[in-house]
Amino acid sequence: MGIAEILASLDLEIATLEKARRLIATATGARRKRGRPSKASSAVSALIGVPAKKRKKNNLSAEGRKKIADAQKRRWAAKRKAGANGD
């Protein structure tokens, strides 16, 4: 690898770092607003390699679903029974 190639590589790296710095400065310098994040902040995250937060998936077992279903059926039965006596 020659000196010219090393210098070109360094210039490219410097340009990338300056771009990242500008993006970070604009994203953090602005007042934070409610709602969806701006494109600039997501671009900064993508540029610096921060992975997006993944929502944890809640998995219910078949046994857990059955317990919930049975409890709901008992609630409905109690409500029907209370309604029949109240009329």
Q: Report pLDDT digits (tens) over 22-56.
A: 888 777 665 566 777 666 666 666 666 666 677 77
Q: At what angle do helices 39-48 and 3-29 cross, to 10 degrees?
A: 140
- pTM tops 0.85, yes or no: no
For the chain, where are the alpha helices, taking DSSP H only? 3-29, 39-48, 62-86
Q: Which residue has the tokens 């317990």?
A: 67
> Is 12 a residue whose pLDDT tops 90?
yes
Which of 8-12, 32-36, 46-50, 71-75 holds the top average pLDDT? Answer: 71-75
Q: What is the Cα–Cα distance from 70 to 61, expressed in whole angstroms?
A: 14
